[in-house]
Structure 1
Amino acid sequence: MWLEAEFTSEPFHGEGSPPEHALAARAAAAEAGLETDFGPFGTLARGESEQLFDALPVIAQAALEAGATQVTLQVRRAEPGRTEANEKPAEAAGPAVELTDALARLIADVEREMGAKLGELDRAGKQRAVRVLRERGAFGLRKSVSSVADALGVTRFTVYNYLNREAD
C-alpha cells in the first residue's frame, strides 16, 4: 500500500529560512528513501507503507533532537507513482470548494492560456500556473491558496512550496 505522511514541526518561524528542526525532519525522510515535498508549514513524505511506517519514528526523533517542541502527523493512503501530493484522478479533478468569482475567473483565464485544467498540468505547468496566478494577484484573495490547491489537485503545502521557489 502506498501512503503519504504530512508532518509539521513547531515552533514555526514565519518568514526567512526554515527552522533547523524542519530541515532535520525532511533530511530524515529523504534518508529513509521517501519522496518528499517541503513547504513552509510542513513536509510531505510518500512511499510504500512499510518504508513509511519504519521512517516515522526516525523523522519525529530527528525533528525533536534538532529543537522541535512538537511534531504533528497525518497519514493517508495515496496512489503509487504520483509526483504531486494528493493528486486527484482526472474524473475528480477541479475545485472541491466554492471559489470566489474573481478567483474562479483568474483560474479559468490561466486554464485557457495553458490549454488544460490546472489539475491536468504536469509539475512544471502547475508551477507556471501558480507563478501566473501570483503575478495577477490571485493570492491576495481570501482562501485563495486552498482554492488554487484544490484546482491544481495538490496540497496547500505544495502551493506554498511553489510560491516560495518563486520568491528565492
Structure 2
Amino acid sequence: MTADPVQVEHPLLTAVAPLLARVGGELVDPGALAADDVPLVWEGQTVAGVRFGGAVETAAEPAGDLAGLLAALAAELGAPLADLPRPQKQRAVRLLEERGAFAYRRSAETVAEALGVSRFTVYNYLNRERS
C-alpha cells in the first residue's frame, strides 16, 4: 500500500480494506491517482484511491470485465462463488445476467467454472429465471 500511514487509520479506508483484499484492489495516495483509479471521497475530500490489478479492458479482450463482475459478486455474496449453495448460485446467475455478464464471449463457460458447475447448469439457471 502506498498511502500515508496516517490515512490508513481513516474510517473509510478501514471499512474498505477487507473488500479490497478480497477483490485484489490496492490503496493509493490521492496524489498518485491514475485515470483508471477509483477515488475514495469522504466529506468532499479525496482520502485515497483504489487501483485494481488484473486484465486491462480492450475491445478484443472483454474477459477482464467479466472477471471483475465475478469478483465483485463473490465479495457481495461473502464467499467464493463455487462454495455457495445451489439457491445462491441460482441467485448469482440472475444477478450476473442483470449486470450484463452474459454479453461477453464464452461467458457461460467462465461463469460455470467460477460457480463450479457445468455450462449446461448455467443455461438451466438462466432459462429458469426467464420463464
* Category of TM-score, reference length = shorter chain: 0.5 to 0.7
Deviation string 1:57-101 (CA, Å, 9 cap, x unpaired) is: xxxxxxxxxxxxxxxxxxxxxxxxxxxxxxxxxxxxxxxxxx810
The number of residues matched between the two structures is: 70
| Post-superposition offset of 1:113 | 0.6
CA RMSD of superposed structures (Å)? 1.0
Partner of 2:105: 142
Segments of 5+ residues of structure 1 without an aligned counterpart are 1-98
SS at match of 1:154: coil
1:165 Cα deviation after fit: 0.4
Counterpart CA distance in 2 for 1:129 and 1:116 is 11
Mapped pair 1:122 → 2:85: yes
Structure ranking higher on relative contact order (CA contacts 8 Å, 6+ apart): 1
Matched ranges for 1:107-118 at <5 A: 107-118=70-81
What are the within-5 Å matches in structure 2 for residues 53-68 of structure 1? none
Q: Quote the residue 1:132 is aligned against.
A: 95
| Paired position in structure 2 for 1:166 | 129
For residues 1-168 of structure 1, the aligned pairs below 5 Å read 100-168=63-131
Runs of 4+ in structure 1 off by over 4 angstroms are: none
Q: How far does the alpha carbon of each residue in 1:24-82 deviate from its partner, in whole angstroms, 9 at most, with x for none?
A: xxxxxxxxxxxxxxxxxxxxxxxxxxxxxxxxxxxxxxxxxxxxxxxxxxxxxxxxxxx
- Indicate the SS of the match to 2:125: helix
Distance 2:106 2:90 in 1: 19
Q: Percent identity?
A: 59
TM-score, normalised on structure 1? Answer: 0.41
Q: Which has the higher helix share?
A: 2
Uncovered stretches (5+) of structure 2, i.e. residues with no partner: 1-61
1:133 CA drift (Å): 0.3
Alpha-carbon distance in structure 2 between the residues aligned to 1:133 and 1:156 = 14
Superposed CA deviations along residues 138-157 of structure 1, whole A, max 9, x for unmatched, are 00001000000000000000
Which protein shows a greater Rg? 2
